[in-house]
Structure 1
Amino acid sequence: MKKKKIMVIVGVIAVVLIGLFILPNLFGGKPTVGPEKNANTEDLGIEYFEVPDIEQVYINGVVQPEQAEAFSKDAKMTSTPEIKVNNGDVVEPETILFTYEDKEITKEIESQNNTLSKLATKKQNIYKKWNRAIDNYNKTKAEERNTTGAAIDEQHQAEVDSVDEEILFSNETIADLSTKQFISTKAKFKGRVSIPEVKDENAPILRLTSDGLYVAGKVNEKDLMKIAVDQKANLSVVSNGTSVTGKISYIDDNPPETKATPSESSSAEGSMSTYNVKLSLDSLEGIKNGYHMQATINLGDNKAIEVPKKAIHEQDGKKYVLVNDFGSVIRRDIQVGEEKGENIVVNSGLESADRIILSSKKEVKEGDLIGESKDETGEAAPIAAKE
């Protein structure tokens, strides 16, 4: 009985194996496993335009304002600064940004003002006494007068003059103190005001940044001698692909002073110095302070790249091409120039040896995985833009 069951089980297994492997081969089929059914070997009949392969230097950097200053609270001041500008204001040089009040000087000014009030009262009393003396003089008979009217006037005028000197001194003291009562901080350059929303002890009173931006990057010693000031560059924002043109505006002759750790100094990478590089931007459209960008410097022939118009797509006002990047379709935003017949000049956005997709028999869009084989029709169809 057991032997009979074993024979049945063996028979079932044999039928399954025949169904999976032998029959498909007899009829020319191939076994498939999982959901992938020739997805990467399907021939899409893609036509390419190849960007010339030239030597390039890449510089990674961060967008920074040409001028920037953060104003911290003065620890010596006991008062809270009074901000004279608003968040987002664009101010000119010498504009007062904020002021401190020196409380001690304010107390001295108050004391001098009190002195002035007392002196004014004293002066009024002198005039009253003077008038009474004149009245008494006029009421006294001539033979009984022991002084002259002129003497009375001289005496009281001297008292008034003395008080006037004290008043003058107090006024001069107040004027001098008033110039020191408020300490103002002014803008040194034209810029935009940024006032932190959260006020804590570490937050600056405000920041001032110029509207002009540049890219601060680094280049290693291997590529240092390949680049030069005023050399043209194509730059793209790492996060969104926005591309602009620019040029190298500054190259530092000396590496930053840093102390390498023993592990760094023992390796080739760690022993290679880097040098600061600044790149100016021809346009600031779509560029923000803090963006990470990659600059591409072409070292070969700087002849403009002309790309067929049919390879260029547009979405939301941005022009782009689709590129076969090692079997994946990616999008490169580009900046274009003049048209030349069926072609158009691409000023920036492309990389050396890019394989730009011109057309295909089936719709190809960003993110697709594509193959190299041919299908049966051989007919090419326009590539649809990604929605």
Structure 2
Amino acid sequence: MKKRTKIIIGVVAVLLVGLFIVPRLFFGGNQEVPVDKAAEAEDYGIDYFEVPDIEQVYINGIVQPEQSEAFAKDEKMSSKPEIKVKNGDIVEPETELFTYEDKEITKEIETQTNTLSKLNTKKQNIYNKWNRAIDTYNKTKEEERTTTGAAIDEQHQAEIDSVDEEIFFSNETIADLSTKQYITTKAKFKGRVTIPEVKDANAPILRLTSEGLYVAGKVNEKDLMKIAVGQEANLSVVSSGTNVKGKISYIDDNPPEAQANQTDSEASGSGASMSNYNVKLSLDSLEGIKNGYHIQATINIGESKPIEIPKKAVHEEDGKKYVLVNDFGSVIRRDVQVSEEKEDKVTISSGLESADRIIVSSKKAVKEGDLIGETNQTAETKE
């Protein structure tokens, strides 16, 4: 046999041995090579109810107070502000929040006060001098008097009048300065006081935020013409799933100025393909809603009909009703509001999204967070 033929036969033999031995080394002699897990996936035998697919506009936003004001320290003032309220106070309009003392004006008031004191002393000295002059006049013999009593009175009265004029001016100056000595800032609206715990250079003296809240969101130019002020919206808190009703209260017809001034080349370079417009949504209820929460609002376009689903698809926990939804193979929970209950049906007023696949029943119990795949359904209920 030729050397080349021997080499070929040897290589083939090694490959055959490798195919037989290597799997056993890794997976054990009595185990089979793993097969595709999807092929072994358990059949949950799920019955679904599919929410009708309707056109919807989604608006992502953040809960914000209707009115808010942060009061920064006045760098022109050398004194520290005296805060007149406490952290957490609910204050009415015109409530004093904090006061500055103008040190320069305080010095002027002190100067004027010292001047006033000296003038009063001067006035008293004139009266003393006047009394002595009268006494001297009375003790002098009539033929030796060089002036009359009336002349003495006139002279000293003129001096008193001059000092009184200076005293009046000084008092007016002090009164005017006193109105400027303390600069008081008052609340412009009813709200809650927040005083920062950390007093760094950038921290405001305090913040005042109204108790009324709204959702500040954005809608792109593609959906702008589909929505209108007054349109109802279903709002869901991203972190907790809490659902509330609301309405569109404001739509800005102009994009933000920086975005409006962007050129086509700048827009394409930054990856922006559409303008976004500011939208405000009111909240029918503030239960479970806090300032800063992230919200997803869903607006149904066109006529919206009540959604009836099988009663057995609705679960309840801690007083909250919810359904389980197959979200691309993962079981998620949606909190829902039930407006009407019948024998085997319930009407859902909020909480569901278009084309949601609600789990009605299953052969094997499923729970939030389970991975069940998209091919395990055994039946699908539509309406």
How high is the TM-score relative to the length of structure 2?
0.82
Equivalent position of 1:66 in the other structure: 66
Answering whether residue 293 of structure 2 is matched by residue 295 of structure 1, we say no
Equivalent position of 1:179 in the other structure: 179
Equivalent position of 1:27 in the other structure: none
1:173-252, aligned counterparts within 5 Å?
173-252=173-252
Instruction: Tell me the CA shift for residue 73 of structure 1.
Output: 1.9
Distance 1:196 1:228, change over 3 A: same
Tell me if structure 2 keeps the 8 A contact 1:58–1:296.
yes
Tell me if structure 2 keeps the 8 A contact 1:192–1:208.
yes
Answering whether residue 133 of structure 2 is matched by residue 129 of structure 1, we say no
Distance 1:107 1:164, change over 3 A: same
Following the alignment from structure 2 to structure 1, what is the Cα–Cα distance between the partners of residues 288 and 185?
33
Structure 1 residue identity aligned to 2:348? V
What residue ranges of structure 2 are gaps of 5+ in the alignment? Answer: 1-12
Tell me if structure 1 keeps the 8 A contact 2:46–2:376.
no
Give secondary structure in 2 for the equivalent of 1:137: helix
Distance 1:44 1:94, change over 3 A: same
Q: Identity over the aligned pairs, expressed in percent?
A: 77
1:1-387, aligned counterparts within 5 Å?
33=34, 40=41, 42-257=42-257, 258=259, 260=262, 265-266=267-268, 270-370=272-372, 373=376
Matched positions, count: 359
Tell me if structure 2 keeps the 8 A contact 1:245–1:347.
no
Give secondary structure in 2 for the equivalent of 1:222: helix
Instruction: Tell me the CA shift for residue 295 of structure 1.
Output: 0.8
Instruction: Tell me the CA shift for residue 279 of structure 1.
Output: 1.1
Structure 1 residue identity aligned to 2:281? L
Tell me if structure 2 keeps the 8 A contact 1:50–1:355.
yes
Range with bigger deviation, 245-254 or 303-312: 303-312
What residue ranges of structure 1 are gaps of 5+ in the alignment? Answer: 1-5, 25-30, 379-387
CA RMSD of aligned residues (A): 3.3
Following the alignment from structure 1 to structure 2, what is the Cα–Cα distance between the partners of residues 285 and 130?
81
Structure 2 residue identity aligned to 1:283? S
Tell me if structure 1 keeps the 8 A contact 2:47–2:377.
no
Give secondary structure in 2 for the equivalent of 1:127: helix
Tell me if structure 2 keeps the 8 A contact 1:54–1:299.
yes
Instruction: Tell me the CA shift for residue 203 of structure 1.
Output: 1.6
Equivalent position of 1:383 in the other structure: none
Following the alignment from structure 2 to structure 1, what is the Cα–Cα distance between the partners of residues 149 and 377?
129
Instruction: Tell me the CA shift for residue 35 of structure 1.
Output: 12
Following the alignment from structure 1 to structure 2, what is the Cα–Cα distance between the partners of residues 356 and 39?
24
Instruction: Tell me the CA shift for residue 182 of structure 1.
Output: 1.8
Distance 1:39 1:334, change over 3 A: farther
Instruction: Tell me the CA shift for residue 138 of structure 1.
Output: 3.7
Distance 1:147 1:341, change over 3 A: farther
Give secondary structure in 2 for the equivalent of 1:132: helix
Tell me if structure 2 keeps the 8 A contact 1:45–1:374.
yes
Instruction: Tell me the CA shift for residue 187 of structure 1.
Output: 2.0
